[in-house]
Structure 1
């Protein structure tokens, strides 16, 4: 199952204004913004509902350049397994498995670049079951 999707935009402020207005009738609003200092890249905005950001955009690339897709995992072990399998399949590491507390305390994700440079992620939002 998909957890969230992200797209690059050319003008962050313009896109923020557009999506804020365009998605409001659907009950979708701004849930979270992250800074370049938090991402190590550009600014990003997460839109969603019920506190869950499932549509993201950011100014970290040219429009149409690379997309971000995150798949939901039901355990941290599956995130780890995804990362290892993706690297073995020829993907390039774009973020080793680990906590990303700037999203939330239990956000455990791993990132790889696919053969075309798209940022593919597996993420588990659950606490560590082994703790």
Structure 2
């Protein structure tokens, strides 16, 4: 559905570090970068959809960003990497049966208060 999602962050360096470390278990890396006002583009090398961050003084409303994981182990690795990168727990890895029987997700709050989720929607391998 999306080609890319781009949003402003209050501390470009902190947010870039957080997202790179937290999303590394999903294979996400920098694909292009300019000055902080332009920002950084993050995605998997084989993907066409990207996440872009840029420095801003504006204070947008908090976002909920959900990333797809192929395995539950990736969900767990994201959660631990995100906490190590300074994220705050907002829901440890686990099943969320109120969504559906195989909805396995973890949630953290990032540097700007955004709710970052990684979800695997398939059955356990």
TM-score category of the 2 structures, normalised to the smaller one: 0.5 to 0.7
Aligned residues: 68
**TM-score, length of structure 2 as denominator length:** 0.52
Among 96, 104, 109, the residue aligned to 1:108: 104
C-alpha deviation, 1:65, in angstroms: 2.2
Distance 1:71 1:65 in 2: 19
Distance 2:111 2:63 in 1: 13
Distance 1:89 1:102 in 2: 29
Among 72, 75, 79, the residue aligned to 2:75: 79
More strand by share: 1
Structure 1 runs of 4+ aligned residues shifted over 2 Å read: none
Question: Which runs of no fewer than 5 residues in structure 1 stay unpaired?
Answer: 6-63
Distance 1:67 1:114 in 2: 10
Tell me the C-alpha RMSD between the 2 structures: 1.6
Distance 1:125 1:115 in 2: 26
| DSSP-derived class of the 1:82 partner | helix
Among 54, 64, 67, the residue aligned to 1:68: 64
**TM-score, length of structure 1 as denominator length:** 0.50
Residues 27-106 of structure 1: matches in 2 within 5 Å? 64-106=60-102
